[in-house]
Amino acid sequence: MIPHEPRLRADAVGGQRIRFHRLLPLLSLACGLGACGRVPGQFEIVNNQVPTGGCAIPVNDTVYQGQGTLDAKLVRGGAGSAYFVFPLLKNNLSGASSGEVDSNKIVLTSFAVDISVLTGPPEITSLVNMLNADPSLSALLHYQTPWSGSIASGGGELSAIVAAFPTELAGRMLGTQGLSAQPSTFVNLRIRSFGHTTTRDMESDPFDYPVAVCAGCLIANTGSCPFSTMPTNTGNPCNVAQDYPVDCCTAGNDLICPAVVSQ
């Protein structure tokens, strides 16, 4: 993870609300004269896609998920992320004419993630406040992660995978004893994508995604290992700790999810 400074909300700067429809003509003029990072509506994250079997991420703006669930109790040691977001990116820059080079194609370079608490018990809010105040730990809440790919102009779309919640952060939340089997902690994952065309840098409109955080809420059924038949609930194909119920089995003190099946 590459730490970065958290970005202020675009509609609240210095206590003054800024209306984008008033600024858009000036922003468009400025970007026409030189490099510009973001003009609202040009480069956007449409939604969070729903992965299919084998963790394939589709490009389908009609099938998406509007809220997530993270079970911190199920986060595996060594996992790439406690929670993944699957953004559908769209390039609304003007398309190229037939036979012309697509100079408005966006080449992706990274994603930025900012994590904040929407609501939660004192143990969780105190933890997040402490992390934000410590420069050596704030990268658990504000960071960039590299990515590659390109999106054609004129409405081109591309799906991606973003490691949107560090496993260390999930472990620290679990360690506060503030999480429960019934989610009472809700966080916001603010995600932005970065890239460039042949002439300028690009930054997507921010995408806010709410996630409920719990300890054990996604564990559907448990039994001794191994199961004699395939479990009914096999969990999310990309990450067992998020979104879908999962059946688990116990082997000594270990909880194995999804449950293993006898051969």
What is the DSSP pairing of strand 106-119 with strand 162-165? unpaired
What is the DSSP pairing of strand 106-119 with strand 185-196? antiparallel
- Per-residue pLDDT at 25 exceeds 50: no
Mean local confidence (pLDDT), 38-66 = 94
Verify cis geometry, omega within 30 degrees of 0, for the bond prior to 122. no
Residue 56, pLDDT score: 96
Dump pLDDT digits (tens) for 211-243.
Answer: 999 999 999 999 999 999 999 999 999 999 999
- Per-residue pLDDT at 138 exceeds 90: yes
Q: Are residues 128 and 137 in contact, defined by beta-carbon separation less than 8 angstroms?
A: no
Determine what percent of the chain is predicted with pLDDT higher than 90: 79
Please state the φ and ψ torsions of residue 171, each to the nearest 5 degrees. -65, -40
Residue 191, pLDDT score: 98
Which residue in this structure is represented by tokens 């472990």?
171
- Per-residue pLDDT at 180 exceeds 80: yes
Dump pLDDT digits (tens) for 71-96.
Answer: 999 998 889 999 999 999 999 999 88
Residue 22, pLDDT score: 44
Residue 97, pLDDT score: 83
3-state helix, strand, coil in the chain (%, to 5): 15, 35, 45
Residue 127 DSSP SS3: helix
The number of residues in the chain equals: 263
Residue 5, pLDDT score: 60
Which residue, among 174, 184, 196, 110, has the nearest Cα to 147 in the 3D structure?
110
Which residue, among 67, 58, 21, has the nearest Cα to 41 in the 3D structure?
21
What is the DSSP pairing of strand 43-49 with strand 87-91? antiparallel
In angstroms, the CA 49 to CA 184 distance is 25
Q: Which one has a higher pLDDT value, 2 or 32?
A: 2
Structure token digits, residue 49: 């896609």
Residue 65, pLDDT score: 96
Residue 98, pLDDT score: 78
Which residue, among 84, 85, 10, has the nearest Cα to 45 in the 3D structure?
85
Residue 2, pLDDT score: 77
Residue 263, pLDDT score: 77
- Per-residue pLDDT at 26 exceeds 50: no
Q: Which one has a higher pLDDT value, 152 or 6?
A: 152
Please classify residue 145 by burial: count the beta carbons closer than 10 Å to its beta carbon, then call 0-12 exposed, 13-18 middle and 19+ buried. Answer: middle
In angstroms, the CA 56 to CA 38 distance is 29
pLDDT class for 37, splitting at 50, 70, 90? low
- Per-residue pLDDT at 33 exceeds 90: no
